Amino acid sequence: MSQGAGGSGSLLLLLAGLLSVLGPSPTSSIHVYTQREVYGTVGSHVTLSCSFWSSEWISEDISITWHFQAEGSRDSISIFHYAKGQPYIDDVGSFKERMEWVGNPRRKDGSIVIHNLDYTDNGTFTCDVKNPPDIVGKSSQVTLYVLEKVPTRYGVVLGSVIAGALLLVAVVVALVYLIRYCWLRRQVALQRRLSAMEKGKLQRSAKDASKRSRQAPVLYAMLDHSRGTKAASEKKAKGAPGDSRKDKK
């Protein structure tokens, strides 16, 4: 009996293990995405984007948390928390008056904006999202690099250089189009001139042909007249001796 009870217990444990492996898990995995690196200049603002994917519907209990770990520090602090439909900016740290919530959990967006950046903002920001019952997942981190503000004079010079380059490109393009336009116009003028010359030649040849056709009857008449005159003169020349004999008689 004890051996049978032990065998049945082992079978039950095996079935429970199979069910735990094959059966559905009570929780699903949530995926969080951020950029790896973000750059900003002193005095400006930057958006720290955070999106997520969850297999569950967005519940009322969804929570979004941002943590900050300063550059060179081992400790991280909570700077922002979203829960029960309300954003909460933590009073700890220097972000409490410079942070803005721009996310929308319904659109799976948990982004924030940091205003008036300073060198002390250099560090790693971590976004963590929980959407019960989808609470198992890995947070995502983005590193912020705050750079020196670009001097106004340098910006003006850079803008002038860019504007000059754009103006030069515009002038070159305009010259190319102008040269092309002049060339096309010259080609059209040459084509018209050649067409006019061909037309003039055709007209002159037509006039010459018409003139020749008008002159042909006159030439023929002159030839006939000259032939008749020559024949009469020859006949008269032949008949001249006979007449002289008749006069002598």
What is the enclosing helix (H) or strand (E) of 87? strand 86-89
Which CATH number belongs to the domain containing residue 48 in this structure? Answer: 2.60.40.10
* Residue range(s) defining the domain that contains residue 105: 31-149
pLDDT surpasses 80 at 226: no
Across the chain, mean pLDDT equals 80
For residue 166, what are the CA distances in angstroms to 161, 170, 176?
9, 6, 15
- Quick check: is 238 in a domain? no
Q: Is residue 157 part of a domain?
A: yes
In the prediction, which pLDDT does 71 show? Answer: 94
Quick one: pLDDT at residue 19? 40
Pick the more confident residue, 226 or 41: 41
CA distance 78 to 90: 7
- pLDDT confidence band for 17 (50 / 70 / 90): very low
What is the predicted pLDDT for the residue at 4? 46
In three-state secondary structure terms, 241 is helix
Averaged pLDDT for residues 188-217: 75
Residue 154 shares a structural domain with residue 204: yes
| For residues 148-160, average pLDDT | 65
**Number of domains observed in the structure of the chain:** 2
* Maximum separation of any 2 CA atoms in the chain, in Å: 196
Amino acid 7: pLDDT: 47
